[in-house]
Amino acid sequence: MKLPENKRTRMVLFLILIAVGVAGIVLITDFLTIGPGYPPTEALQKWFIPQPGHEYGENGSVIEKRTIYDDIVLVGEIEEGSPPPFPDLSRYCSYATYADSGAGERYLVVNWYFNTTAAHSQAEKELCQYLQASGNLSSAELTLPTEPEPSQDDPGSRPLSIPATKFESDRSSGYFMVVEKPLTSEHDDYFIVYFGVVGPAALSDHTAALEGLMLRSYPFHGARPLTPCP
């Protein structure tokens, strides 16, 4: 049985209003959960990974600059998931590989993201136990220069000292840092970050390059080393 034209029109309008209402509820829920202008999970899981910039070509086209700094370039794309040799600690994880086009060395940066305290604490325990069984752990202190701060007494820049956990193995050696709630204290955001060299290598020979990569990342204010294994 066909509905009269005016009834069909009213029915269509009614269904449209329902659809708009449902969409509005979803948007409001996301707004209350994430907050206005807050980065989505897709961005947070690669928050500390140095990414290439862009520039305009002569014809106005946008060109990706894959060089991060000096001779170090991004290899391929930023990938999702935990890379070997590390365990799968979070479903919100990304990593990137970089190459020194001059020396030929390869570097690895991993960003594990957690949105609950419990998930982050459990991941730290699992990671520490895995690292103990896979290589050598020790304490380290990294020093990063910061932007110059205008001052009559000290016009130069103040270096940022970052405590880290040093990891050394035949597959990769580097530094682990934990960053808690770097965006706002009112939102549960936790990160475990790794900057390392791929393959067997003397880590001290690559610390400067890794610090250079860290300088092209999100600021590491408040970073700490991994919690020692129980």
| All structural domains of the chain with their residue ranges | 1-37, 42-215
Q: How far is the C-alpha of 138 from the C-alpha of 85, rounded, in Å?
A: 18
Percent of the chain scoring above 90 in pLDDT: 60
The count of other CB atoms within 10 Å of the CB of residue 130 is 15
- Highest mean pLDDT: which range of 82-86, 152-156, 193-197: 193-197
Which of 64-68, 109-113, 170-174 shows the lowest mean pLDDT across its residues? 64-68
* 122, 215, 137, 85: CA torsion to nearest 10: 70
Q: What is the reported pLDDT for 157?
A: 53
pTM: 0.78
Q: How many residues does the chain have?
A: 230
Q: How many CB atoms lie within 10 A of CB 99?
A: 18
The predicted model gives 144-158 an average pLDDT of 54
* pLDDT value, residue 145: 76
